[in-house]
Structure 1
């Protein structure tokens, strides 16, 4: 059965979209079947994977009023007109094991339709909150295969789209960057998730009063924290003293910059105290943190990709595969990578593989 994983932080700029894409590509290269779902109205994931022109071609037109995005399912589902369709896309340079359900600005309309009181707490509209679970099942029917992992890209908010994704998700991963606001946002996540879970359970309880034999929703609404990712930090090689140089001490390994090291410590403390302990103390109906990450809680760290991330987006190529392409210097000029850039691409590929391995081990 597919493990549905939301990649979420209510802070923008922490690399959610890039991580979704690169995790999915890496899992695909490890032989896993992966479905990416762009559940963010900004659609950055869809544009990154497909490229501008292909993504625009998937949007609704006069001849194709629903397009081939997630709207082709959601609009019909919401309006109860029948004929919901699932379309998947494949990126030109993303591994073929990875399918994408493209996003659409229309997701804002779906978000507006989700009513916490009327739909969720009353239990009368639970199907709207777990629609992603339905979409995954329909995608598996369409492709005649089972997905190992479903990776969901989300907007940076605590809005209804995020709440709905958490109702369908088995796990969630929290990427963080080196700044005070990331530390603050970790605490907010710890405050909000127990409320999401309680609202779902209240609604499910009311639903079961009149539908005691309907069990499709029973195992949903139980998102489990699968770890955090320290993303976008800087490193530098530690300088050798003159005595070390004269003694022939070799170049030292790169080390995290002091400022980033300080924020890393603060983030680790926030994750442990304000997220993990909060979840474990307030959610008692199931285990809200994955057993495999109880000791350290971090499942990956990715250095700042600098100019590589721009090239990745321009070329629609995952970070770890950039060495197979020439970098874009300007719109009409491409050139080979410098050796330090080749080394950085290899390191990013290694780190993504470590992250993917941790997900395979943790999200079971």
Structure 2
């Protein structure tokens, strides 16, 4: 059985397009012949609502007849309470979603799981390390439910440096960093460069203590080694086919910050981490994808639960009741964005191997 490649889409800054990137990257990987699992690991559940629709998503949540629901809580609550019977429920997207893509829906209850994790007592001591790698078990069970191995599992995360981020990174093979054209993105890249080496060193300490008591247990030996697989520049404006000057300035600043404050710091820490945390085959500027500002397209995508690149298959919603045809320039933009996500998917396939 082939191994599922796990990719986390992460930035501690909000509003950079993590959820939209996760959803649309997953769709385009699936349309290029890959079997893809999307995991909504954000208590806000934006990925679940976007891909499944609000009404359908609400129907997956726990109620008096099903106290665990058919979302991620059905596994995590049983695991946390040690009562057994953990279940993974996989859901298909809407009618325009790729047939080989499945979604593991989130739940606000993820906050409870996050609060149950103690970095000191559980992770650093090694005694509760299993709680920090639970996504590995979830993905393995998801493959059984799917009756096949997923080629990729993409994890959407909250904008924080909290415990849920650690849980995702420790099982991931790679991570992608979406960024936007604004004054704070370069600063936040610097924070990533400070925090990620510390997170990974914490894992090594916890694993070392765990192994001292369990020297023959090797399941966790290859975990805690995610590689930076590039960054994505989202939300810029174009004029006459070119990035506007202000946004180009931001991109240049981000490119420098990625090099100086993230790549260089991860590379410097590689000796202590015991592996090279930078993926091979990355472009010189480490940028693996670009998507321009989507304006009204993003609203329609979310309202109709239709991926950006498939919006030309439906009419646009004007006021949540009426629909009309897309204007020619909007169709052009949809086509351009479809091409952008296709390019991102191809880059991920070539890098995340």
TM-score range, shorter chain: over 0.9
Q: TM (normalized to structure 2)? A: 0.98
Q: Of residues 34, 37, 51 in structure 2, which corresponds to 1:35? A: 37
- For residues 222 and 49 of structure 2, what CA distance do their matches in structure 1 show? 33
The alignment covers a number of residue pairs equal to: 348
Please list the CA deviations of residues 184-216 of structure 1 after superposition, one character each: whole Å capped at 9, or x if unmatched: 000000111101110000000001111000000
- Map 1:62-77 to 2 at 5 A: 62-77=64-79
**Distance apart, 1:344 and its partner CA:** 0.2
- For residues 263 and 143 of structure 1, what CA distance do their matches in structure 2 show? 42
Aligned residue for 1:320, secondary structure, equals helix
- For residues 90 and 288 of structure 2, what CA distance do their matches in structure 1 show? 29
Q: Does 1:268 align with 2:255?
A: yes
Gaps of 5+ in 1: 238-253
**Distance apart, 1:228 and its partner CA:** 0.1
**Distance apart, 1:332 and its partner CA:** 1.8
Please list the CA deviations of residues 25-68 of structure 1 after superposition, one character each: whole Å capped at 9, or x if unmatched: 00111110000000000000000000011100000010000000
- For residues 255 and 139 of structure 1, what CA distance do their matches in structure 2 show? 43
- Map 1:86-105 to 2 at 5 A: 86-92=88-94, 93-105=96-108
Q: Does 1:148 align with 2:170?
A: no
Q: Which residue of 2 aligns with 1:282?
A: 269
**Distance apart, 1:142 and its partner CA:** 1.3
Q: Which residue of 2 aligns with 1:205?
A: 208
Please list the CA deviations of residues 236-263 of structure 1 after superposition, one character each: whole Å capped at 9, or x if unmatched: 11xxxxxxxxxxxxxxxx1100000000
- Map 1:234-273 to 2 at 5 A: 234-237=237-240, 254-273=241-260
- For residues 329 and 126 of structure 1, what CA distance do their matches in structure 2 show? 49
- For residues 322 and 59 of structure 2, what CA distance do their matches in structure 1 show? 26
Q: Which residue of 2 aligns with 1:248?
A: none
- For residues 187 and 108 of structure 1, what CA distance do their matches in structure 2 show? 26
- For residues 113 and 213 of structure 2, what CA distance do their matches in structure 1 show? 26
- For residues 93 and 246 of structure 2, what CA distance do their matches in structure 1 show? 37
- For residues 293 and 287 of structure 2, what CA distance do their matches in structure 1 show? 17
- Map 1:36-185 to 2 at 5 A: 36-92=38-94, 93-185=96-188
- For residues 11 and 268 of structure 2, what CA distance do their matches in structure 1 show? 21
Q: Which residue of 2 aligns with 1:300?
A: 289
- For residues 257 and 133 of structure 1, what CA distance do their matches in structure 2 show? 42
Gaps of 5+ in 2: none
Select between 180-189 and 287-296 the one with higher mean Cα deviation: 287-296
- For residues 263 and 199 of structure 1, what CA distance do their matches in structure 2 show? 33
Aligned residue for 2:317, secondary structure, equals strand
Q: Does 1:13 align with 2:15?
A: yes
Q: Of residues 219, 228, 231 in structure 2, which corresponds to 1:225? A: 228
**Distance apart, 1:294 and its partner CA:** 5.7
Q: Which residue of 2 aligns with 1:354?
A: 343
Following TM superposition, where does structure 1 have runs of at least 4 consecutive aligned residues deviating by more than 6 angstroms?
none
Q: Of residues 307, 314, 322 in structure 2, which corresponds to 1:333? A: 322
Distance 1:301 1:294, change over 3 A: closer
